[in-house]
């Protein structure tokens, strides 16, 4: 069965510092990979996705993620965070075996310190 | 197309009452999903439709929950005899059949059962 692990439930970081949010997955078949962001009291918004091709994908708001097949990881990065990036970030995968349904990580709360 | 719309945004109801939520997906999307999310948790899958057919329902979903998508367009989620444990954010999302573009989420309906 497929699973998604987000290793950190909370990540505190100072404003303008770089950040990495970690995501690992397990699957025996090819996957699509996604990062979503959820601001307080809102729905989820797609940040970026990996389907195929270049392993480095760029998304909205200056975020990027790198797909590493050997390590089954899809870590999210931003070189310089802002207060407005305070939110919860969810990693998700979809696989053909699950009829393309999304399997979610538990989420990582990004806390920006001024 | 204005994205995925959910109505109402907030609902406060007394325990034992029935509630119904509506979701209008992106018109080109033939898949529609319902999720539930409680504070500090990731989205919990409830059910999904492909066109008008309900293809999967979570085993965690009690008989008090029912969803419909009668014409393959909008969907409704009804909760009968609400309980305090039903208090949560109810999220609707839509996608193409493969989900390759990711899911598009609505802003959610926050249910409070008092």
Q: Which two tokens stand for residue B6?
A: 């959910």
pLDDT of residue A103 exceeding 90, the answer is no
pLDDT of residue A98 exceeding 90, the answer is no
> What would the mean pLDDT of B46-75 be, rounded to a whole number?
91
pLDDT of residue B1 exceeding 60, the answer is no
Average of per-residue pLDDT values in chain B: 92
CB within 8 Å of chain A, chain B residues 25-84:
33, 41-43, 45, 48, 55-56
Longest dimension (CA), chain B: 40
CA-CA distances (angstroms) from residue A61 to A28, A47, A90, B104? 32, 8, 15, 17
Which residues in chain A are contacts of B97 at CB distance < 8 A? 100
User: Which tens digits make up the pLDDT trace of B83-95?
Assistant: 999 999 999 999 9
Closest Cβ–Cβ partner in B56, B99, B108 for A102 = B99
CA-CA distances (angstroms) from residue A73 to A26, B18, B94? 9, 43, 26
pLDDT at B71: 86
Rounded Cα–Cα distance for residues A84 and A41 (Å): 15
Which residues in chain B are contacts of A104 at CB distance < 8 A? 42-43
**Mapping DSSP to helix (H, G, I), strand (E, B) and coil, where does residue A99 land?**
coil
More confident residue, B97 or B31: B31
Pairing of strands A108-113, A10-14: parallel
pLDDT at A97: 65
**Helical (H) or strand (E) element with A98:** none
B60 by Cβ neighbours in 10 Å (0-12 / 13-18 / 19+) ranks as exposed
pLDDT of residue A15 exceeding 60, the answer is yes
Longest dimension (CA), chain A: 44
pLDDT of residue B75 exceeding 60, the answer is yes
> What would the mean pLDDT of A76-96 be, rounded to a whole number?
93
Minimum mean pLDDT range among A6-20, A28-42, A90-104, B39-53: A90-104
**Mapping DSSP to helix (H, G, I), strand (E, B) and coil, where does residue B35 land?**
strand
> Are A43 and B105 inside 8 Å of each other by CB?
yes
User: Which tens digits make up the pLDDT trace of A35-58?
Assistant: 999 998 788 999 999 988 899 999
Comparing CA positions, the residue from A56, A50, A53 lying closest to residue A33 is A50
> What would the mean pLDDT of A26-33 be, rounded to a whole number?
86
> Are B42 and A90 inside 8 Å of each other by CB?
yes
Substitution target from A29, A43, A47 for chain B, most B beta carbons within 10 A: A43
Q: Which two tokens stand for residue A3?
A: 């699973």
pLDDT of residue A102 exceeding 90, the answer is no
Chain A residues whose C-beta is within 8 A of a chain B C-beta are 32, 34, 36, 41-46, 49, 51, 90, 94, 99-102, 104-107
Q: Which two tokens stand for residue B103?
A: 């899911």
Substitution target from B2, B103, B109 for chain A, most A beta carbons within 10 A: B103
Percent of chain A residues past pLDDT 70, beyond the cut: 96
């Amino acid at each position: 069965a497929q699973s998604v692990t987000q290793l950190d439930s909370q990540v505190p970081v100072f404003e303008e510092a770089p950040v990495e949010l970690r995501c690992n997955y397990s699957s025996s078949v090819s996957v699509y990979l996604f990062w979503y962001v959820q601001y307080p009291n809102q729905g989820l918004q797609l940040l970026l996705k990996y389907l195929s091709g270049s392993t480095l994908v760029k998304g909205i708001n200056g975020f990027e993620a790198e797909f590493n097949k050997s390590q089954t990881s899809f870590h999210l990065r931003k070189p310089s965070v802002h207060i407005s990036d305070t939110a919860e970030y969810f990693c998700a995968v979809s696989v053909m075996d699950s009829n393309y349904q999304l399997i979610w990580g538990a989420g990582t709360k990004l806390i920006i310190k001024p | 197309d204005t994205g995925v719309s959910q109505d109402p945004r907030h609902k406060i109801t007394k325990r034992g009452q029935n509630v119904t939520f509506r979701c209008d997906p992106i018109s080109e999307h033939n898949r529609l999903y319902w999720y539930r999310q409680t504070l500090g948790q990731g989205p919990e899958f409830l059910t999904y439709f492909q066109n008008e057919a309900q293809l999967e329902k979570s085993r965690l979903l009690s008989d008090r929950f029912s969803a419909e998508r009668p014409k393959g367009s909008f969907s409704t989620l009804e909760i009968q005899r609400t309980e305090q444990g039903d208090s949560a954010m109810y999220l609707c999302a839509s996608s193409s059949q493969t989900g390759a573009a990711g899911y598009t989420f609505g802003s959610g309906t926050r249910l409070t059962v008092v």
